[in-house]
Structures are given as C-alpha cells and as structure tokens.
Amino acid sequence: MIINNKFFFTLYDLAHRSIFFDKLVIFFSDIFPYIVIVLAGIFLLFHHEVLKSKNPFKVLVQKWKEIILVFFSGVFAWCVAQVIKLLIHTQRPFLVLPNVSSLVPENGFSFPSGHATFYMALAFAIFLSHKKAGYVFISFAFLIGIARIIAGVHFPVDILGGFILGILTAYFVDFLYQKLNKQKTA
C-alpha cells in the first residue's frame, strides 16, 4: 500500500500546477478514450479494406468476426471489472486521501479501473491479430491509465489490475474463439 500511495502521489503531484497540463490530463482521461474507440473501428475497417472494396457490405460481413471479437473483448472485460468492483468496494483516492481532488467527476468504486480494463482488452485483442497496431493501442491504454492516476480518480493498483484483467479477458475470449473455430473445422 505504501508503494501504491507513493507512486500515486508521484503522478498526482503533476496535477493542479498548470491549467494547460490539467486540461491535457482531462483530455487523455475522459475524451481521448472515445477517440481510441473510433480509431480502433477505423483501423479494423481500413485494415481489411472494407471501405475501399467495390462491395463494402460483403467484405464487412466476411470480416465482422474480428471486429466483433475486438470490441466484445473490451465490453466483456469491462463487465467483469464492474462485477469485481461490486465485490471489492475500493474507494477512489479523492475520497480516502486528504488534499486530493479529482480533475474529472467520477463515482463508484475504483478497483479495477473500468477504463484500464476496457482499453487494455481492446488493445490486446488487436495485438493478438496485428502486432504493430496492437503496440499502438497498448500505448494508448497506458496513456489513458496514467492520465486517470494524475487526474486523481485511480490508484496505480486500480490501473494495473485493470490492465491485467483486460489482457487476461482478451486472451480468454481469443482462446475460446480459436477453440470453437477448431471444433467447427474438425
């Protein structure tokens, strides 16, 4: 817990010093995540040349499985995170630490971070099929996670727990998908 708090304050102490930096943190913790979803969708569409084909609907139908798998991994991981939050009941930093005020409004429990879980699951699901793009989306997940700590809404352990849960969930969903695919072809 001491290391968790030290790392939290190392990052949180960057906040509330500059209006520009605070707005940047707010952008990366609250707005950028939506951009990442759009970028993931665009990547999956353009990577498969759905929009470039003569019959985009036909190509989309052929490639829908990967698109669904990526987004299902994120949503499923987020749902699992919500269940864990209800079981563990970890309070947010701004509720338990004196002199900590969040840059973004947040409620509910903090462990594991739903943002970290969803975006790491999305990133890792992309990574399993497209290594280079996966690294980019994993870096986006790290950026979102760090911003959520600086914003004062999560402890580092919340983000780390979310990252681990996201990776494990994406891997599990991919494993089940591969197993079902092998059974269909057998």
Nearest to 63 by CA among 46, 80, 88: 46
pLDDT band at 50 (very low <50, low <70, confident <90, very high): low
Q: Mean pLDDT throughout 10-26?
A: 92
Residue 131 has pLDDT above 80, yes or no: yes
Residue 44 within any structural domain of the chain: yes
pLDDT band at 25 (very low <50, low <70, confident <90, very high): very high
Residue 75 sits in a domain whose CATH number is 1.20.144.10
| Alpha-carbon span 50 to 63, nearest angstrom | 8
Residue 186 within any structural domain of the chain: no
pLDDT of residue 51: 61
Q: Are 93 and 141 in contact (CB under 8 A)?
A: no
Residue 105 within any structural domain of the chain: yes
Counting Cα atoms < 13 Å in the Cβ hemisphere of 145 gives 28
Domain that holds residue 43: 2-181
Residue 173 within any structural domain of the chain: yes
Residue 32 within any structural domain of the chain: yes
Q: How many domains does the chain have?
A: 1
- Which of these ranges, 46-60, 79-93, 104-118, has the smallest mean pLDDT? 46-60
The verdict on pTM exceeding 0.85 is yes
Nearest to 73 by CA among 184, 177, 182: 177
